[in-house]
């Protein structure tokens, strides 16, 4: 070995050993007075251990086997908090045990601000002891599902956290702000009454081998992992089963100035949710960008991918790849309709009359979104809806098998088209197969519907309209300026493969499609110019 190589090896060993040296000191909470009995308040003892560990320059605070009940614990830099196998840390049910200052949403069991080198680890359990009541809803406004339920004469019974609305706050299990170099591994986070894990303006965080659970039936507002204005985050090999969203991206100003949420990877995860597996929050004031969600299973989800934009921010450069999405319908008070994909730009005033439109920012943007290599079982229409003032731009779907069926036990089903695009440009639908399955819904229409769009490319599509005996085409283009259908194939039972509507529709090209199974390859509405559709290299249709 050369001298230089030896020096490098010594330096490498020093670097990789630094965390071990820093965390070598063990601070057992029982030595600071914790009993390990659930009925005893362990907060003072655990906090003393955390403070002593920090004063010593760092180390590990250990919760050995036992049951510990606590209010807010203030984490410290260079302190590793370890919940050993057989140990359970409970959040005390008394609201007063979680002081939060002026911002109620800062309440947390484990809390930290402006920290670095923070590790939370172990094979133990952190339990929020959430409880819920069921009551008739009297506060949800502008919610389409509630309106439908009322029109059907159905009771709008729903769950709410116990103590709502008189109680002011419910604690997160972990809340961090402006922290760097965070690692959370191995822990079971259970029954959080609020977002289980919430980060604001944090950098370089890793969540690995976690199990996060809240009730899919009751746990409203109890997300899995919420990242607000964070940068450089990895969520790997986690199982998250939550009533509300599993992983949410946010760019909001609730805990400080709104910041960009960026450079996040979610991989090798198993997600289940009564709301959304992956959620891009409506609370996006600046931007959410450069996100990858890959190699994961979404099972029993009300929505697979939900990208919402309501407060004027930007969503861009997002990749979803190698996913299996199995959708189920949640109760009426959960957002979503059993949809694998839902992208939507809106204004807040379109949901609430309380906020005048003049005070709102312009509609936000959703741009450069890739969804590829997906097998999805849907219970509702997948929506790709831009805004009349801000179109979706650069939406790409590739290598997708989409199976659509209904849920006969649901009180209502508003599905129509399998893939529904509106106010969009630069859209690619490549190598997509749509299959209509049993149980079926009479209201189903087209496999792909595109309304008010431009520069649309559909290639390698295999599909038909939902009902062979009805007129609904496999593909409906309405008010579309510039579209190409290439190498598509009409499935067995197709009546009309393509229908073009709207006086603005023009420059529609058909190229080398296999439409012999369609009774009518294409149909033009009366308002469409006769030369709107051009046929290229397709002898059977010339």
Task: Give tens-digit pLDDT for 176-189.
Answer: 999 999 999 999 99
pLDDT for residue 353: 57
20, pLDDT greater than 50: no
**What is the pTM (predicted TM-score) of this model?**
0.93
pLDDT-based confidence at residue 6 (cuts at 50, 70, 90): very low
Measure the N-to-C terminal CA separation of the chain; round to a whole number of Å.
75
Average pLDDT score, the chain: 93
Backbone angles phi, psi at 86, to 5 degrees: 90, -5
Q: Which neighbouring-strand residues pair with 206?
A: 183, 234
pLDDT digits (tens, 9 = 90+) for 469-508: 777 999 999 999 999 999 999 999 999 999 999 999 999 9
254, pLDDT greater than 80: yes
4, pLDDT greater than 50: no
Cis peptide leading into 350, omega within 30 of 0? no
Backbone angles phi, psi at 502, to 5 degrees: 95, 135
pLDDT for residue 355: 56
Look at residues 124, 114, 263 and name the one whose alpha carbon lies nearest to residue 185.
Answer: 124
pLDDT digits (tens, 9 = 90+) for 121-132: 999 999 999 999
pLDDT for residue 472: 93
Cis peptide leading into 165, omega within 30 of 0? yes
C-beta separation of 120 from 87 below 8 A: no
Backbone angles phi, psi at 228, to 5 degrees: -110, 110
pLDDT for residue 10: 37
pLDDT for residue 515: 94
23, pLDDT greater than 90: no
pLDDT above 70: percentage of residues in the chain:
93
pLDDT for residue 8: 31
Q: Which neighbouring-strand residues pair with 225?
A: 197, 247
């Amino acid at each position: 070995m050369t001298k230089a190589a030896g020096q490098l090896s010594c330096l490498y060993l020093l670097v990789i050993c630094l965390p071990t040296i820093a965390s070598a000191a063990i601070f057992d909470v029982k030595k600071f007075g914790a009993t390990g009995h659930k009925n005893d308040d362990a907060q003072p003892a655990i906090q003393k251990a955390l403070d002593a560990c920090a004063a010593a320059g760092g180390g590990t605070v250990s919760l050995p086997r036992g049951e510990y009940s606590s209010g807010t614990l203030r984490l410290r830099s260079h302190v590793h908090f370890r919940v050993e196998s057989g140990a359970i840390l409970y959040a005390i049910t008394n609201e007063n045990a979680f002081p939060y200052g002026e911002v109620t949403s800062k309440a947390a069991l484990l809390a930290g601000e402006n920290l670095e080198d923070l590790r939370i680890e172990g094979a133990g359990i952190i339990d929020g002891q959430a409880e819920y009541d069921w009551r008739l809803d009297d506060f949800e406004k502008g919610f389409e599902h509630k309106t439908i339920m009322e029109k059907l004469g159905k009771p709008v019974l729903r769950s709410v956290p116990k103590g709502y609305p008189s109680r002011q706050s419910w604690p997160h299990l972990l809340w961090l702000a402006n922290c760097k170099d965070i690692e959370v591994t191995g822990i079971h986070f259970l029954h959080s009454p609020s977002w289980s894990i919430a980060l604001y303006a944090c950098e370089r965080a890793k969540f690995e081998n976690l199990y996060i659970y809240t009730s899919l039936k009751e746990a409203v507002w109890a997300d899995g992992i919420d990242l607000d204005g964070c940068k450089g985050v990895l969520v790997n090999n986690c199982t998250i089963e939550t009533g509300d969203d599993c992983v949410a991206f946010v760019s909001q100003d609730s805990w400080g100035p709104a910041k960009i949420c960026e450079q996040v990877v979610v991989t090798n995860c198993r997600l289940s949710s009564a709301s959304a597996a992956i959620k891009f929050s409506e609370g996006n004031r600046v931007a959410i960008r450069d996100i990858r969600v890959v190699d994961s299973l979404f099972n029993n989800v009300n929505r697979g991918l939900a990208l919402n934009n309501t407060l004027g921010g930007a969503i861009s450069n997002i990749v979803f790849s190698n996913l299996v999405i199995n959708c189920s319908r949640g109760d009426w008070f959960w957002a979503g309709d059993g949809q694998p994909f839902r992208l939507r730009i809106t204004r807040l005033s379109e949901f609430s009359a309380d906020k005048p439109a003049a005070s709102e920012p312009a509609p936000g943007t959703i741009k450069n979104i890739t969804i590829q290599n997906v097998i999805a079982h849907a219970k509702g229409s997948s929506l790709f809806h831009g805004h009349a003032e801000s179109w979706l731009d650069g939406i790409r779907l590739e290598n997708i098998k989409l199976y659509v069926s209904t849920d006969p036990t649901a009180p209502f089903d508003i599905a129509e088209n399998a893939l529904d695009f509106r106010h969009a440009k630069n859209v690619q639908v490549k190598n997509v197969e749509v299959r209509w399955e049993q149980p079926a819904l009479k209201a189903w229409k087209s496999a792909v519907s595109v309304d008010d769009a431009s520069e649309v490319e559909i290639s390698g599509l295999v599909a038909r309209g939902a009902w062979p005996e009805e007129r609904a085409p496999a593909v409906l283009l309405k008010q579309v300026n510039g579209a190409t259908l290439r190498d598509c194939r009409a499935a067995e039972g197709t009546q009309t493969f393509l229908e073009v509507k709207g006086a603005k529709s023009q420059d529609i090209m058909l190229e080398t499609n296999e439409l012999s199974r369609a009774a009518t390859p294409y149909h033009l509405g009366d308002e469409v110019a006769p030369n709107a559709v051009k046929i290229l290299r397709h002898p059977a249709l010339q």
